[in-house]
């Protein structure tokens, strides 16, 4: 028997070394995230592995799984504890070693393995760890699977099972890189800044971009798990500004920034201006729908309204639906609809054939951006961006809110705006034109300005985004309107960044 995990244990004690600790809030909507040694210990990770193996068997899926780990000082030890648990549950484990998350997704196809468990904290601060899991490629777990996994692990509802085994795949990245670069070289000579924030992508991104024909300016590509400059997060303005400076210094055509586990890509144009990922998505949708008739796209509720209103997309027959934020939700919806691509404002992009296999890969996104520029030989990245209808958009802003409180706060905010809509009341000086409540609440007023409040799926935070097609002032009006509602809830703390 394996002991039931405790929700809290004190480090540097006998109990901490002899019992599993798993804080229940670490089981998120579509993956798992904990502060290592504060919310989960190695024995807790082992319990997670046994529970995951048991869930895979319960789902009726072959107990064979790919695993890898990102570049953190503690990720390898966490992966081996997870592997120990998976083998205890009877799983055959295929270990690809140090990897970006999409390399693990690729390995599911390349090695013909149904399941995946990638140890990564993505772009989170050091101290965090987590696992991205799936048992039905190219999809990853959603709320149903995560809820059941939580039940199994916390109740220790599993038994040891014979048949577990382990195989390490030596030099596996070469197979992934070969797959990405098996394409015609670019005809246009592009100078590209590849920024990796000293995260895992630094081991692979420059090599891939050079292989497709780019001249690469590496920026913070040396692996350093202390993240000495900034966290590798292409939504973070500090990272975007570092890319801007490098683009201007080297007169680059584009700056591409990759997050800690390489499944997202941020973009800075040739003038040094960052382009938020949803606008990049509109640019890619224009490019892709020009060569694919009646293209279907899926975008998340944090994304710009241009996906629906852009005249070029309308003329090219593109159709776009809005869906829940979160890489697992978006991946699943893009797959269900057979959409050409899915675009999430955070930078998770999902390309189906002929562009990809349906999972999010920052390097596939980077290649798509370079190929878009290749198909527009007389135009710069700024030209393509400036051709979009003008809107004023905020970055993703995240006020702190405890995991135990955030969903209740969001429910109250949704009810607040639903009541205002029923009363015909105004928000930011205008009547409400539309409410989308598929994921938090997206409030659109009469002039097309909108604001979103939702709960973060992987951190103790809320998420706030605002946009206006009218003016910067109207964008700020929408922020003040959304923030004034949040300020009525004492559980909501300070923002990580604000406009």
pLDDT (tens digit per residue) in 252-304 = 999 999 999 999 999 999 999 999 899 999 999 999 999 999 999 999 999 99
CA 292 distance to own-chain centroid: 26
Which sign does the torsion angle of CA 412, 416, 421, 426 carry?
negative
In order, the DSSP letters of 411-452 are: HHHHHHHHHHHHHT-EETTEEEEEEE-SSSEEEEETTS-EEE
Beta-carbon neighbour count of residue 435 at 10 Å? 15
CB 17 within 8 A of CB 3: no
DSSP state of 202: G
pLDDT attached to residue 308: 84
pLDDT (tens digit per residue) in 58-104 = 999 999 999 999 999 999 999 999 999 999 999 999 999 999 999 99
Instruction: Provide the β-strand partners of residue 467.
Output: 393, 450
Determine the Cα–Cα distance for residues 390 and 478; give it in Å rounded to an integer: 17
Q: Look up residue 56 and give its two tokens.
A: 């895979």
CB 468 within 8 A of CB 392: yes
**3-state DSSP call for residue 194?**
strand
Mean pLDDT across the stretch 103-108?
Answer: 98
Q: Among all chains, which residue has been given the structure tokens 């497709």?
A: 212
Query: Closest Cα to residue 295, out of 237, 256, 379, 353?
Result: 353
Query: Closest Cα to residue 496, out of 467, 464, 469, 466?
Result: 464
Judge whether residue 458 has pLDDT over 90: no
Side by side, the strands of the sheet bearing 92-98 are 32-35, 128-134, 115-119, 64-69, 92-98, 165-168
Q: Is 485 exposed, middle or buried (0-12, 13-18, 19+ CB in 10 A)?
A: buried
Judge whether residue 1 has pLDDT over 80: no
pTM, rounded to two decimals: 0.89
CA 60 distance to own-chain centroid: 28
Q: Is 170 exposed, middle or buried (0-12, 13-18, 19+ CB in 10 A)?
A: exposed
Determine the Cα–Cα distance for residues 120 and 97; give it in Å rounded to an integer: 12
Side by side, the strands of the sheet bearing 215-219 are 215-219, 191-195, 254-258, 265-268, 274-275
Mean pLDDT across the stretch 211-224?
Answer: 98
**What is the share, in percent, of the chain residues with pLDDT greater than 70?**
100
Dihedral angle over CA of 202, 208, 211, 214, nearest 10: -70
Beta-carbon neighbour count of residue 300 at 10 Å? 29
Residue 171: CB partners within 8 Å, gap ≥ 6?
none
Judge whether residue 173 has pLDDT over 80: yes
Question: 467 or 345: whose pLDDT is higher?
Answer: 467
Determine the Cα–Cα distance for residues 486 and 301; give it in Å rounded to an integer: 19
Q: Is 144 exposed, middle or buried (0-12, 13-18, 19+ CB in 10 A)?
A: exposed
Look at 39-53, 197-211, 296-310 and tell me which has the smallest mean pLDDT: 296-310
**What is the share, in percent, of the chain residues with pLDDT greater than 90?**
92
pLDDT attached to residue 396: 87
Judge whether residue 355 has pLDDT over 80: yes
Determine the Cα–Cα distance for residues 268 and 305; give it in Å rounded to an integer: 21
Determine the Cα–Cα distance for residues 144 and 136; give it in Å rounded to an integer: 14
For helices 173-181 and 362-374, what crossing angle results, to 10°?
Answer: 20
CB 129 within 8 A of CB 33: yes
Determine the Cα–Cα distance for residues 235 and 363; give it in Å rounded to an integer: 16
pLDDT (tens digit per residue) in 421-451 = 999 999 999 999 999 999 999 999 999 999 9
Instruction: Provide the β-strand partners of residue 320.
Output: 297
Q: Look up residue 465 and give its two tokens.
A: 């985004």
pLDDT attached to residue 76: 98
Determine the Cα–Cα distance for residues 288 and 365; give it in Å rounded to an integer: 12
pLDDT attached to residue 346: 85
Confidence of residue 236 (pLDDT cuts 50, 70, 90): confident
Catalytic residues: 122
Which sign does the torsion angle of CA 496, 246, 257, 104 carry?
negative
Judge whether residue 237 has pLDDT over 90: no
pLDDT attached to residue 223: 97
Q: Beta strand 392-393 with 462-468: parallel, antiparallel or unpaired?
A: antiparallel
Confidence of residue 56 (pLDDT cuts 50, 70, 90): very high
């Amino acid at each position: 028997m394996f002991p039931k995990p405790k929700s809290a244990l004190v480090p540097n004690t006998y109990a901490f070394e002899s019992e599993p600790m798993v804080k229940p809030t670490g089981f998120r909507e579509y993956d798992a995230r904990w502060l290592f040694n504060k919310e989960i210990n190695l024995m807790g990770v082992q319990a997670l592995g046994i529970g995951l193996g048991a869930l895979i068997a319960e789902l009726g899926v072959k107990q064979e799984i790919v695993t890898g780990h990102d570049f953190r000082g503690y990720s390898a030890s966490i992966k081996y504890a997870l592997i120990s648990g998976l083998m205890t549950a009877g799983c055959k484990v295929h270990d690809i070693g140090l990897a970006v998350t999409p390399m693990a997704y690729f390995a599911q196809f390349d090695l013909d393995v149904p399941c995946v468990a990638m140890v990564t904290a993505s772009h989170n601060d050091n101290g965090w760890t987590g696992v991205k899991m799936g048992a039905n490629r190219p999809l990853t777990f959603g709320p149903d699977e995560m809820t059941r996994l939580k039940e199994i692990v916390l109740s220790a509802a599993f038994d040891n099972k014979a048949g577990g085994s382990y195989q390490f795949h030596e030099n596996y990245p070469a197979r992934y890189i070969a797959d990405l670069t098996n394409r015609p070289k670019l005809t246009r000579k592009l100078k590209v800044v590849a920024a990796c924030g000293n995260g895992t992508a630094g081991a692979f991104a420059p090599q891939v971009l050079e292989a497709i024909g780019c001249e690469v300016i590496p920026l913070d590509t040396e692996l350093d798990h202390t993240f000495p400059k900034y966290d590798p997060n292409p939504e973070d303005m500090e990272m975007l500004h570092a890319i801007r400076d490098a683009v201007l210094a080297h007169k680059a055509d584009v700056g591409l920034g990759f997050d800690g586990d390489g499944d997202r890509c941020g973009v800075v144009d040739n003038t040094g201006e960052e382009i938020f990922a949803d606008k990049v998505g509109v640019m890619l949708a224009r490019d892709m729908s020009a060569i694919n008739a009646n293209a279907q796209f899926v975008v998340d509720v944090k994304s710009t309204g241009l996906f629906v209103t852009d005249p070029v997309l309308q003329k090219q027959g593109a159709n776009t639906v809005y869906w829940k934020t979160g890489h697992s939700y978006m991946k699943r919806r893009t797959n269900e609809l057979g959409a050409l691509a899915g675009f999430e404002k955070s930078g998770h992009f999902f390309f189906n054939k002929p562009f990809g296999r349906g999972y999010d890969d920052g390097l596939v996104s980077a290649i798509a951006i370079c190929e878009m520029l290749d198909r527009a030989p007389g135009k710069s990245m700024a030209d393509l961006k400036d051709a979009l209808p003008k809107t004023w958009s905020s970055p993703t802003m995240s006020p702190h809110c405890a995991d135990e409180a955030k969903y209740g706060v969001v429910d109250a905010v949704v009810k607040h705006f639903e009541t205002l809509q029923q009363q015909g009341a105004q928000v930011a000086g205008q009547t409400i034109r539309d409410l989308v409540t598929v994921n938090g609440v997206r409030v659109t007023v009469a002039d097309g300005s909108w604001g979103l409040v939702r709960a973060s799926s992987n951190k103790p935070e809320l998420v706030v985004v605002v946009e206006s097609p009218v003016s910067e002032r109207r964008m700020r009006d929408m922020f003040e309107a959304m923030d004034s509602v949040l300020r009525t809830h004492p559980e909501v703390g300070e923002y990580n960044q604000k406009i």
